[in-house]
Structure 1
Amino acid sequence: MQRLKTLAIATAMSILTSTAIVAGPSFDTASIEKITGLKGQYTETEQVFKISRPRTDVQVNVDNWKMPPFMGLTSWAAFTSGQDHLMMMGDTVLFEDEVNPVMSAAFESGLEVTALHNHFFFDNPKVYFMHIGGMGNEITLANGVKHVYETIDAIRKAKPEPQKSFDGEIPSISTISAPPLEELFGKKGESKDGMFKISFGRASSMHGKPIANAMGVNTWAAFAGTDDKAVVDGDFAMLPNEMQGVLKTMRGGGINVVAIHQHMTDEEPHYLFMHYWGKGRAADLAKTIQKAMKTQSP
């Protein structure tokens, strides 16, 4: 009798295990494949479905070596179930002229951008990696990834070779008028050789010591060129929950994001930093920067 009970329990466990294996993912992977046009792979142990897209359209050389996509030039997006939604995370291989249009495409689709950086030195053309994420359902997230990839395709179809500069010239002699910018920012800045720079410190601490503006915990903007043909570059200090608002506002004003990373590891609160580059009228650029600052906590 005991033997029969043991056999029955073992059989039931075997059926349950087989059912779990057959069940596979709890979300619609077929829709993800259909929308993106990419075949995916399901990792049962982690319950993750992943699609990938190697960059084969442009040859990349790293350290004077023709680099195959297998060695790290492949975009991907991975999907897994959360408590009440589907979660997506991905990494997207981009050339310099693709980064900002693709970032805007991600925002248009309701996705988040969480990092932007390089993986190589001596790469030609230069390659950047933009991390994306989102929460929602299969249809929404897959369409977001599709929009990101279609934006890349449209850029390369229009110009097969990546651009080597942003559109618009930068005057060789700088004559930026400081007073209008100081009035707009509500703070005195620094002028030098016709250029203008302004900085806004933020509060943090490290190893029990307060740190702020002078230690690099700041948002700053530097202007060169002329009032009508200006270039601005700078850095944004952002708390993690501020980053999406800042990025969306900067892109909405046409300012290019060129890096998103951390500068420190043990500060409290922890800051992320975004570097940017923009061209246009100095006042318009300043208004976009100020607008982005207003999305942050006081």
Structure 2
Amino acid sequence: MKPTTMLFTFVTCITFTASALDNTKIEQITGLKGTLNEAEKVFKVTYPRGDLGVAVDKWNIPAFMGLTTWAAFTDGNASATMVMGDFVLMQDEVNPVMSSLLESGLSVTALHNHFFFDEPKAYFMHIAGEGSLEQLAKGVRAGLDKMKEIRASSPQPAKSFGNAIPDKNSITAAPLLAVLGGKPQEKEGMVKFTIGRIAKMSCGCEIGKEMGVNTWAAFAGTDDNAVVDGDFACLEGELQGVLRTLRAGGIHIVAIHHHMTMENPRYIFLHYWGLGKAAELASKLKTALDVQAK
């Protein structure tokens, strides 16, 4: 009986460490061809954005030089599969694609530029996720489909959000104060709220609101036709909930990145732009603030 038991244990170990990726299924679901890196046990699908016609410093940049959407799959730890990737997007694609990815259970981990003097402007949305292979591949496909849908309906990228913001500002602070609380700043018809948070730098210095660890919201325009822009300072565990809440409220996310290094706790900053009635925008921001408080 002992030799049989030993053999059973050995076979079980081999079965556990073998890759569970179904590369053919990834290709079928995403609609993209992929390549396998056997050494790293990673299967990567790519979508070169040759449709964009992006010029950097007046040079027509090939997709090979950094304009390729990709998603890489590998075996997970807590879940069966893990995915990481990067979507190359036009400005009018960013938020609809982000919503599709978030609704599919994927995480959006960064949003920023990779170039200067690019025309039209390209943005890069980094993604991650853990779950079943089918769930993750479908999430990537949802983002790709939304991206293609936008370009099919409008081959030329949009150059604005399509809202005319009044030239003269006349925001009433009281209704916003009732929602957001605190003590806002007011200037020339604009109203700004700032909420501080605390971090400690590697030198031991504690930093807060005035040193840049803050969430803020600035309102301009009129009460019925307002714009709000600002920044959420999020702990890493808060980021996805805040993103989902803001996108559900129609708030545009325009950047996700860090502002510091070596701080504790670590903060990720997301910048946003919203349009609508001032009081309604304030309520949407308050909902996202409440997500952080949970």
1:32 aligns with 2:36: no
Gaps of 5+ in 2: 1-13
Paired residue for 1:87, among 73, 77, 82?
82
Structure 1 residue 117 displacement after superposition = 0.4
Does the alignment pair 1:247 with 2:243? yes
Counterpart of 1:89, as a letter, is: M
- Among 34, 48, 51, the alignment partner of 2:45 is 51
Answer yes or no: is 1:216 the counterpart of 2:212: yes
Per the alignment, residue 108 of structure 1 pairs with 103
One-letter amino acid of the counterpart of residue 235, structure 2: L
Runs of 4+ in 1 over 3 A off after TM superposition: none
Secondary structure of the corresponding residue to residue 296 of structure 1:
helix
Structure 1 equivalent of residue 125 of structure 2? 130
Distance in 1 separating the partners of 2:129 and 2:101: 10
Match of 1:189 among 166, 184, 190: 184
Q: Report the TM-score, using the length of structure 2 for normalisation.
A: 0.92
CA distance in 2 between counterparts of 1:240 and 1:59 reads 35
Structure 1 counterpart of 2:5: none
The 8 Å contact of residues 219 and 237 in structure 1, kept in 2 or not, is answered as yes
Q: Partners of 1:110 and 1:24 in 2: how far apart? A: 26
Q: Which residue of 2 aligns with 1:13?
A: none
Q: CA deviation at 1:24?
A: 8.2
Q: Deviations over 1:15-47 (max 9, x none)?
A: xxxxx9xx9842211111111111111101100
Do the aligned partners of 1:25 and 1:42 also contact (CA within 8 Å) in 2?
Answer: no
Residue aligning to 2:170: 175
Residues 80, 133 of structure 2: 8 Å contact kept: no
| 1:133 CA displacement | 1.2
Instruction: For structure 1, list consecutive stretches of 5 or more residues without a partner in the other structure.
Output: 1-19
Is the 1:242–1:297 contact (alpha carbons within 8 Å) kept by the matching residues of 2?
no
1:44 aligned partner, one-letter code: E
Number of the residue aligned with 2:67: 73
Residue 278 of structure 1 corresponds to: 274
SS at match of 2:165: coil
Q: Name the CA distance, whole Å, in 1 between partners of 2:263 and 2:56.
A: 35
Q: Aligned match of 2:225 in 224, 229, 234?
A: 229
User: Number of residues paired by the alignment?
Assistant: 278
Matched residue, 1:8: none
Identity, in percent, stands at 56
- What CA distance in whole angstroms lies between the structure 2 residues aligned with 1:157 and 1:93? 16
Q: Could you give the per-residue CA deviations for residues 60-103 of structure 1, whole angstroms, max 9, x where no partner exists?
A: 00011000000000000000002341000000000000000000
Q: Secondary structure at the match of 1:197?
A: strand
Task: Note if contact 1:113-1:131 (Cα within 8 Å) is conserved in structure 2.
Answer: yes
User: Which amino acid in the other structure matches residue 287 of structure 1?
Assistant: S
Contact 1:93/1:128 (<8 A) preserved: yes
In the alignment, the residues of structure 2 paired with residue 79 and residue 218 of structure 1 have an alpha-carbon distance, to the nearest angstrom, of 35
Tell me, what secondary structure is at the counterpart of 2:282?
A: helix
Query: How big is the alpha-carbon RMSD for the aligned residues of Structure 1 and Structure 2?
Result: 1.5
Determine the C-alpha separation between the residues in 2 that align with 1:189 and 1:37: 50
Shift of 1:53: 0.3
Matched, 1:160 2:160: no
TM normalised by structure 1 equals 0.91
Quick one: which amino acid aligns to residue 274 of structure 2? Answer: G
Aligned counterpart, 1:238: 234
Q: SS of the counterpart of 2:183?
A: coil
Matched, 1:121 2:126: no
Conserved? CA contact 2:20–2:80, under 8 Å: no
